[in-house]
Amino acid sequence: MFQPIFLYSTLTKTKVQLMPLRSHEVSVYSCGPTVYSAPHIGNMRTFVFADTLRRVLCVGGYTPKHVINITDVGHLVSDADNGEDKIEKESKKMGVTAKDIVKKYSDMFFSDLQALNIPKNKFFAFPFATEYIEEQIQQIQLLEIKGLTYRIEDGIYFDTKKFKNYGALGDIAHIEIQAGARVEHVLGKKDVHDFALWKFSPKSSTQQRQQEWNSPWGVGFPGWHIECSAMAKSLLGETIDIHTGGIDLAPVHHNNEIAQSEGIFDTPQKKFVSIWMHSEHMLIQTKTQENSQAEKMSKSLGNIFTVSDLVEKGYDPLAIRYLFLQTHYQSQFSFTMASLDAAEKGLSRLREKIYNVTHWYTPIQAIFYKKPTVHMTTFNNFLFDNLSTPQAIACMHEWGNASLSLVEQYMLYKHADQALGLDLFKKEEIEIIPDEILELSIERNVAREKKNFEEADRLRKLIESKGYTVKDREKNTTVQKIFHK
């Protein structure tokens, strides 16, 4: 019943088969946005990837339990535990409260999710870090008991030298290089990889924080990384099946999450995460006087587009989703307006196919059920092979040209739409025959084929009671809505 799904693990650097810890339920934790400014389409690529993973798990027969957190405290301007808290900084700049900033940008994030057809209600939770302060303090206390922390003037730090295999996700060398070039150091930090678990509020009144809490160590706020360890554990348990994020999070944030979560375990075999998955960056061409080069789309570089920027220019947000899915999540790609134009064309070609397919019943046409196994299996297999969405989209374009019956195409497109979330049926919703009626008529055909006429009759009556008629022709059966005069 459960399909084998293979996913690329950043930890092992190989594709591994998903083996959920709790039979059909798959726990997934995705690092969410830091809500200090408008999320850009690079950020949203990461969340479309997370949503696609969720959808593919459903196609495979699993029940995802998926959490995306909202970072509303503790993410500092620098990864090196110094500099201002991004949210406090923005609130000062705008002359509003930190709460106002969080509300404004988390609302924007949720409306972008909706625009990109990422259904909020299909996720288990969107926890805010400030709602889990107690859990973060408890996690730090457990690390303290294990002797993995130390106190300096600035706060409580994780002692990475004491954690075996720190940096398992790799790429920690560049932190050392960065640290060498860094002007501002946190005084007393024993190692460049050590990181803040709890930071004390600054003493000077000019730097007073709005978001601060009492703790066993003094008034302050949690470091950025601890929120994910605490929330993942509270909502999903000590070991989770899949953890996702953008690739930039792997070297620091995710290596630190592993240290904080596994640091409290008694056995070295026990893991925080079974499969670590990372999506690549979206780049953007930046033109300088000398040349043009692709660089990471990022808030700090100011080279961003938001979903609403593009909607204002007249683009359909689902064309943005289509654009993302055209590239495998592990590949970088450069955003251009031309690529979005091409994506919009691709999406409308699919919509045309859907239009043809959904009009098959007016005038009454054949509904002769033939399970679309081969094509659906091919499509699914691409997705089960580490979410190969570009190949899955190519399949969708081929179906319209292949000599498939309209019913078969209908079934395939309906399925693909669930799997990729392109919302292709949106405009046609009112005109199509509901799945329930189609399924009943299919069941009825099966009964007729088996010459079980009693059952076929029962199903006909059931269909009629729901407002549809069925007519048997020589070679097929048709279904039509009953319009009352």
User: Which stretches of the chain bind Zn ion, using CB under 5 A?
Assistant: 31, 228
Nearer to ligand AMP, 42 or 127 (CB): 42
Residue 220 near which of ligand AMP, Zn ion, none (CB within 5-8 Å, type-dependent): none
Q: What are phi and psi of 318, to 5 degrees?
A: -75, -20
Q: Applying CB under 6 A, does 155 fall inside the site for ligand AMP? A: no
- Site map (CB under 6 A) of ligand AMP, residues 378-407, x = contact: ------------------------------
Cα distance between residue 485 and residue 483, in whole Å:
6
Show contacts with ligand AMP in window 215-274 (CB under 6 A).
245-246, 248-249
Nearer to Zn ion, 228 or 411 (CB): 228
Residue 228 near which of Zn ion, ligand AMP, none (CB within 5-8 Å, type-dependent): Zn ion
Q: Applying CB under 6 A, does 33 fall inside the site for ligand AMP? A: yes
- Site map (CB under 6 A) of ligand AMP, residues 303-342, x = contact: ----------------------------------------
170 Cβ contact partners less than 8 Å away, ≥ 6 residues apart: 10, 250, 251
Nearer to ligand AMP, 58 or 294 (CB): 294
Q: Applying CB under 6 A, does 54 fall inside the site for ligand AMP? A: no
Judged by CB under 6 A, which stretch of 38-46, 186-194, 205-213, 337-345 contacts ligand AMP? 38-46
Longest Cα separation, the chain: 87
Which residue from 5, 26, 27, 45 is in contact with ligand AMP, where contact means CB under 6 A? 45
Show contacts with ligand AMP in window 273-302 (CB under 6 A).
281-282, 296-298
Cβ(33)–Cβ(70) below 8 Å: yes
The label of the residue with tokens 């957190």 reads 69
**# residues contacting ligand AMP (CB under 6 A):** 17
Tokens found for residue 255: 């290596």
Cα distance between residue 269 and residue 262, in whole Å:
10
Residue 238 near which of ligand AMP, Zn ion, none (CB within 5-8 Å, type-dependent): none
Show contacts with ligand AMP in window 160-199 (CB under 6 A).
none
Residues binding ligand AMP (CB under 6 A): 31, 33-34, 42-43, 45-46, 71, 245-246, 248-249, 281-282, 296-298
